[in-house]
């Protein structure tokens, strides 16, 4: 797996990214590759925002991993910028061989490069294996997260 290339996603990667997002228990209930129009619109917003980075891991020409980095300025910690890691996925056939660790390490490297004071992420409470994975990488389960799902404006 030495041939992994980390790069910013392009619109041509969109189908592979959505497929990875949908390829798990939670994602299969909330993602759909049937209509990519909303994903295209979201990609355009992310791509245009200098505080967002949609990262892909490429192996032998195929997209095999992804994570989104959001750089959040704040007043806390003396005005520190923090990096939020979201939507981490590794293609199912390549899980368990170190690619996920390398993907997170690349996210942390990019956060350091941007001068972030800390890196944070959330993981669904049911993802026990992911919690162990992040713990092994040095992340501390220091907070309890809360979410409020809002109705989809296109459904109103």
pTM higher than 0.85 for the full model?
yes
pLDDT in tens, 44-70: 999 999 999 999 999 999 999 999 999
Inform me whether the pLDDT recorded for 156 exceeds 50: no
Q: Give the 3-state DSSP-derived string for 68-100, with helices as H, strands as E and coil as C.
A: EEEEEECCHHHHCEEEEEEEEEECHHHCCCCHH
Work out the pLDDT band at 145, boundaries 50, 70, 90. Answer: confident
Q: What are the domain boundaries of the chain?
A: 5-139
pLDDT for residue 33: 74
pLDDT in tens, 101-134: 999 999 999 999 999 999 999 888 888 888 898 8
HSE-CB for 62 with a 13 A CA cutoff: 9
pLDDT for residue 131: 87
CATH architecture, domain 5-139: 3-Layer(aba) Sandwich (3.40)
């Amino acid at each position: 797996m030495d041939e992994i290339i980390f790069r910013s996603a392009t619109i041509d990667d969109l189908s592979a990214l959505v497929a990875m997002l949908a390829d798990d228990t939670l994602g299969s209930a909330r993602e759909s590759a049937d209509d990519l129009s909303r994903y295209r619109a979201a990609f355009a917003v992310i791509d245009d925002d200098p505080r967002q980075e949609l990262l892909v891991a490429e192996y032998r020409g195929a997209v095999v991993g992804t994570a989104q980095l959001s750089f959040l300025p704040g007043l806390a910690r003396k005005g520190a910028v923090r990096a939020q890691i979201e939507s981490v996925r590794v293609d199912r056939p390549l899980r368990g061989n170190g690619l996920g660790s390398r993907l997170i390490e690349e996210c942390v490297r990019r956060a350091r490069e941007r001068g972030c004071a800390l890196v944070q992420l959330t993981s669904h409470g049911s993802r026990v294996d992911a919690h162990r994975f992040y713990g092994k990488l040095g992340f501390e389960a220091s907070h309890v997260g809360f979410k409020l799902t809002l109705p989809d404006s296109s459904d109103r």
